[in-house]
Amino acid sequence: MHADFILKELRALREAGLYRSLKRVQGEQGPTLMIEGRELLNFCSNNYLGLAGHPALCAAAKEAIDRYGCGSGASRLISGNLELHEQLEEKIAALKGTEAALVFNSGYQANTGLLSCLAGEGDTIFSDALNHASIIDGCRLTRARVVVYPHGDIARLEDELKKTTTGKKLIVTETIFSMDGDEAPLAEIVELAERFGALVMVDEAHATGVAGPNGAGVVAKLGLGERILVQMGTLGKALGSFGAYVAGSKALRELIINRCRTFIFTTSLPPSVLAASIAAIELVRKEPERRLALWHNVRALRDGLKRMGLRLSESQSQIQPVIIGDARRCMALSARLFEKGLFCQGIRPPTVPAGTSRLRVTVMATHSHEHLRQAFKIFAEALNESRD
Ligand code: PMP
């Protein structure tokens, strides 16, 4: 069957420079990557610690398949609540220092479902302007009033909290922002929340495994765990596995199990994935040198890009945006890098605001000095050529 609107929509996307297509990756997700038969330097992966192909994770996943099989068979509330789910949840709660944790199938599902358990009609959600799409969609599903405050703007957040006098108030923010790499002013947010009787939910997707003691995240780094209602994070980025978690009180866990549609109505994560996540949390705790190697590379990346004369934004993490502005120019630069042997995907609207298309450069613990040296050479050449 054929429908004209599809072709029309695709044409419009192409004309706006917003058309997207998939790249086929062959083999492992490492500091280098095979794409269409070519080996490229990989500077856009969220596999920050290089754990996705780690032998300990692979062995744990294989062992789990041998013992439990491939699929979990059902949703958690039917017959799909495996002992591995609960073991993983105990590990996460211990890591985060919370009473309890609950595993979700993905961060996207966690955010789209969680917010509706926390706020509804008559309530107000205060959401940072740069929050991830999954938080934005989660807010939409709640039927609560949503106040989007400018990125990290504490004064505006305070004004908005002051003006809101009825219903529950919930502030939601990422801790390390996915497309900008900067850290939310979390201590100030928590103080405001306490002054105005608001609850706080944080998304630690890009901080989990990377920031804080044992990779527990920014909340743990700042010692704010007791003052935050909900901490969610993902297992598919620095932890090299797949899925997501919510950490908080036992009562919160029970509420989610009872009310959260994206938790209830979906087949649970399979054994291999759960076992890999357990192994990853263990590994991050046992091998702090991985995090140290990452932070070393974060500094090296920033220094190298600055030496090229690039004005860098205030990233405090492994995510370093190089803002290009125009979507077409950004994609042309990304394509040029690709031709020269470096993969760094251009990021355009609607992922980022219009006029802020960027190369979202991410560095990994497993990038060697030589990988970085080659990357700087390629970046410098591509940037020079694109100025011509
Ligand atoms: N939150 C943030 C901040 C993210 O960057 C992402 C993934 N890009 C998600 C949530 C969704 O997580 P997942 O990939 O596990 O669905």
User: pLDDT (tens digit, 9 = 90+) per residue, 51-68?
Assistant: 999 999 999 999 999 999
Phi, psi dihedrals of residue 54, rounded to the nearest 5°: -65, 135
Of all protein residues, whose CA lies closest to atom 8 belonging to ligand 1? 178
Asked if residue 387 has pLDDT above 80, the reply is no
pLDDT digits (tens, 9 = 90+) for 262-304: 999 999 999 999 999 999 999 999 999 999 999 999 999 999 9
Query: Bridge-partner residues for 202, per DSSP?
Result: 173, 231
What is the signed CA dihedral for 61, 111, 187, 213, rounded to 10 degrees? Answer: 0
* Mean pLDDT across 220-238: 98
Q: With bands split at pLDDT 50, 70 and 90, how would you rate the model's confidence at 35?
A: very high
* Mean pLDDT across 160-188: 97
Please state the atom number of ligand 1 nearest to the C-alpha of residue 234. 15
2 classed as catalytic: no
In this predicted structure, what is the pLDDT of residue 17? 86
Asked if residue 14 has pLDDT above 80, the reply is yes
Please state the atom number of ligand 1 nearest to the C-alpha of residue 174. 3
pLDDT digits (tens, 9 = 90+) for 334-371: 999 999 999 999 999 999 999 999 999 999 999 999 99
* Mean pLDDT across 81-87: 98
Span from the CA of 385 to the centroid of ligand 1 (angstroms): 34
Span from the CA of 205 to the centroid of ligand 1 (angstroms): 6
* Mean pLDDT across 43-49: 98
Of all protein residues, whose CA lies closest to atom 13 belonging to ligand 1? 107
Span from the CA of 251 to the centroid of ligand 1 (angstroms): 25
Please state the atom number of ligand 1 nearest to the C-alpha of residue 46. 8
Tell me the two tokens of residue 354: 């219009």
| Cα–Cα dist 66/299, whole Å | 42
* Mean pLDDT across 176-182: 97
Our answer on whether the CB atom of 234 is closer than 6 Å to any ligand 1 atom is yes
75-84 contacts at long range (C-beta below 8 A, 24 or more positions apart): 75/264, 75/265, 75/266, 75/267, 75/268, 76/257, 76/263, 76/264, 76/268, 77/257, 77/264, 80/267, 80/268, 81/268, 82/268, 82/271, 82/274, 84/271, 84/274, 84/275, 84/278
Span from the CA of 172 to the centroid of ligand 1 (angstroms): 14
Asked if residue 41 has pLDDT above 90, the reply is yes
Q: With bands split at pLDDT 50, 70 and 90, how would you rate the model's confidence at 314?
A: confident
Of all protein residues, whose CA lies closest to atom 12 belonging to ligand 1? 107
Among 29, 234, 362, name the best residue to mutate to test ligand 1's pocket (greatest count of ligand atoms within 8 A of Cβ). 234
Of all protein residues, whose CA lies closest to atom 9 belonging to ligand 1? 107
| Under 8 Å between Cβ of 285 and 354 | no
Percent of the chain exceeding pLDDT 70 equals: 100
96 classed as catalytic: no
| H runs (alpha helix) in the chain | 4-15, 55-68, 83-96, 107-118, 133-142, 154-163, 186-195, 218-222, 250-259, 261-264, 271-286, 288-307, 327-339, 369-387
Question: Length of the chain in residues, anyone?
Answer: 388
* Mean pLDDT across 313-321: 93
Crossing angle (nearest 10°) for helices 55-68 and 271-286: 150
Helices (H) and strands (E) in the chain, counts: 14, 14
Phi, psi dihedrals of residue 47, rounded to the nearest 5°: -80, 60
* Mean pLDDT across 22-29: 93
Catalytic residue from among 96, 132, 169, 237: 237
- Mean pLDDT of the chain, nearest integer: 96
> Which residue's entry shows tokens 């605001």?
353
Catalytic residue from among 96, 206, 367, 371: 206
Q: List all residues 6 or more positions away from 178 whose beta carbon is below 8 Å from its beta carbon.
A: 132, 205, 206, 319
In this predicted structure, what is the pLDDT of residue 1? 85
| Under 8 Å between Cβ of 6 and 14 | no
Tell me the two tokens of residue 179: 């497309």
**302 half-sphere exposure, CB direction, 13 A CA radius:** 15
Asked if residue 388 has pLDDT above 80, the reply is no
Of all protein residues, whose CA lies closest to atom 14 belonging to ligand 1? 107
Which of 169, 166, 177 minimizes the C-alpha distance to 194? 169
Span from the CA of 3 to the centroid of ligand 1 (angstroms): 32
* Mean pLDDT across 76-92: 98
Global confidence as pTM: 0.96
Tell me the two tokens of residue 234: 């993902």
Q: With bands split at pLDDT 50, 70 and 90, how would you rate the model's confidence at 386?
A: confident
* Mean pLDDT across 140-145: 98
Other beta carbons within 10 angstroms of residue 280's beta carbon come to 26
Our answer on whether the CB atom of 178 is closer than 6 Å to any ligand 1 atom is yes
In this predicted structure, what is the pLDDT of residue 305? 94
Burial of 156 (0-12, 13-18, 19+ CB in 10 A): middle
Our answer on whether the CB atom of 106 is closer than 6 Å to any ligand 1 atom is yes
* Mean pLDDT across 322-337: 93
186: helix, coil or strand? helix
Q: List all residues 6 or more positions away from 318 whose beta carbon is below 8 Å from its beta carbon.
A: 48, 181, 206, 210, 294, 297, 298, 362, 363, 364
Asked if residue 315 has pLDDT above 70, the reply is yes
One-letter amino acid of 207: A
Span from the CA of 111 to the centroid of ligand 1 (angstroms): 9
Span from the CA of 347 to the centroid of ligand 1 (angstroms): 15
Tell me the two tokens of residue 133: 């799409």
| Cα–Cα dist 199/158, whole Å | 14
Asked if residue 220 has pLDDT above 90, the reply is yes
Span from the CA of 107 to the centroid of ligand 1 (angstroms): 5
178 classed as catalytic: yes
Our answer on whether the CB atom of 244 is closer than 6 Å to any ligand 1 atom is yes
Catalytic residue from among 45, 106, 116, 178: 178
Our answer on whether the CB atom of 134 is closer than 6 Å to any ligand 1 atom is yes
Percent of the chain exceeding pLDDT 90 equals: 95
